[in-house]
Structure 1
């Protein structure tokens, strides 16, 4: 799609939505913001309060929309019933509403935890098969599978971004963050590439910056036009947590947490 048009941003009041919202503003583009929390729209924005689990809300949210950036959902481990309702059924509700409204493109916020039990290796491909580390990771694997289905069956362009860790800086993430960090500015660049790449079909890409300690392949994202401009290494001397990143993609905090309990 072009830089103009209307883009629906689900989960717009969450951490990732808050970081990406100002970075997705464009002249001639309208951002439609959706969240269960109330939002105060600014210039070039519209706000709608409701849940991604509500089919009627999603039908209204998808009216006259050119693309959906789906960030809404639970962002950490939670009981299975909650994960199922919000992350899995919610993603289906979003995709189905987009299909019925004729929305041609959806960008899905997946996660490294969809492959959390994969062993770390240099240039790990973005489309590595799923090995989730939690119920949360299972929900992201299901999200990717639903995205694949909606492309193959209905012709929708769907890009799933396996996000490493998107925070203002990687300092709070410890040593692991020096490899997993996606800077907010790079996050905006990546989503923009996913929105503007011509006919991507179904793709899975890594959502990370070009970090010195990066172990994830950027080839798939770069094929869509993404160019990282940031590197977590500039924060290396500020890292105080000496905990090693572990042997798995998901890191010890997730791979060792009790299923169904926040880590």
Structure 2
């Protein structure tokens, strides 16, 4: 690759992708709304840009071979707060990529696009959208946007429905964990697979308790190696009993499935900020 673009470069997941992406291209354009992202890696350039601004996104995507779109507001919030970064931002990425002849968009979708499916259902990549929040609805919108731009313009996309890419701190995460190493592996496969058309893949490690099925997209070559079972004894020893009356315990979306629309789902999760430092 000559040039890759990474949005959301200032975020936690973006911090783990920046260095590996520089090994896959001559130039990595990292972008976010932060003033800077600290020390840059060899071949990396930072451009401050607002996802909700078409002019900004047209600027950063010019000359790109592929776009890795990780940027968004990463929690449930009132619809009006998500409209710019999550909905309009996704449109701007696809439309700018189309105008510039970008080959493929790799998108950080989420389990929350299908979060209201019961956990008793072992879901694959063909299940219907059942968003659990406005945040999940934005992921559904971007997935459908990717499908539309593939059908109308031949713009490829891979939508990574990430389950929980963070340290394992709860029984739910024993199934949903995506390690940072497996995240890098997944994004790499999304980039180097010769042809993807429009595809959806679950971002989850090789967990014994994984609740989702990626067999429909085995052609991507994503073969995760890490397994959250290594944390099971410690996590389960201190876990509270499951509450069958809590919809968050019963659905794939976890705490996002039980919050009222517009209210934070992250507030009910123990997410450790272990962003990689440059």
* Unaligned runs of at least 5 residues, structure 1: none
- How many corresponding residue pairs? 256
1:221 Cα shift?
4.2
Two-structure CA RMSD over aligned residues (Å): 1.5
**Alignment match, 2:209:** 213
In the aligned structure 1, how far is the partner of 2:241 from the partner of 2:54? 43
For the 8 Å contact 1:5–1:30, the answer to whether it is kept is yes
String of CA shifts for 1:10-52, please: whole Å, max 9, x gaps.
0011111112223333165422100001223221201100111
Range with bigger deviation, 12-21 or 130-139: 12-21
Counting only pairs closer than 5 Å after superposition, residues 115-134 of structure 1 correspond to structure 2 as: 115-121=114-120, 123-134=122-133
String of CA shifts for 1:63-111, please: whole Å, max 9, x gaps.
1111000011111001110112210111001111111111010011100
In the aligned structure 1, how far is the partner of 2:239 from the partner of 2:2? 44
In the aligned structure 2, how far is the partner of 1:259 from the partner of 1:43? 43
State the TM-score, normalized to the length of structure 2. 0.88
For the 8 Å contact 1:112–1:163, the answer to whether it is kept is yes
1:222 Cα shift?
2.9
For the 8 Å contact 1:39–1:49, the answer to whether it is kept is no
In the aligned structure 1, how far is the partner of 2:58 from the partner of 2:80? 24
* Unaligned runs of at least 5 residues, structure 2: 243-247, 266-278
Counting only pairs closer than 5 Å after superposition, residues 77-156 of structure 1 correspond to structure 2 as: 77-121=76-120, 123-156=122-155
C-alpha spacing 1:236/1:79, structure 2 compared with 1 (3 Å): same
In the aligned structure 1, how far is the partner of 2:262 from the partner of 2:7? 24
**Alignment match, 1:188:** 184
1:241 Cα shift?
3.9
Counting only pairs closer than 5 Å after superposition, residues 1-263 of structure 1 correspond to structure 2 as: 4-26=1-23, 28-37=25-34, 38-40=36-38, 41-121=40-120, 123-167=122-166, 169-170=167-168, 172=169, 174-239=170-235, 240-242=238-240, 244=242, 246-251=249-254, 253-263=255-265
